[in-house]
Amino acid sequence: MTDPVLPPRPPAAPLRLINAACVLALIGMGFSLAHLLWPTALLFALFMLVGQGSFALATLLYAVAIFSDLKRQKVL
Does 1 map to a domain? no
Percent pLDDT > 70 in the chain is 97
Does 76 map to a domain? yes
Compute, in degrees rounded to 10, the torsion defined by CA atoms 57, 65, 63, 74: 160
Domain limits at 72? 35-76
DSSP per-residue codes, 11-33: PHHHHHHHHHHHHHHHHHHHHHH
**Cα 14 from Cα 64, distance rounded (Å):** 8
Q: What is the pTM of this model?
A: 0.81
**Is the separation of the CB atoms in 51 and 32 below 8 Å?**
yes
Mean pLDDT of 37-60: 96
Q: How confident is the model at residue 64 (pLDDT cuts 50, 70, 90)?
A: very high
Look at the chain and report how many structural domains it folds into. 1
Does 66 map to a domain? yes
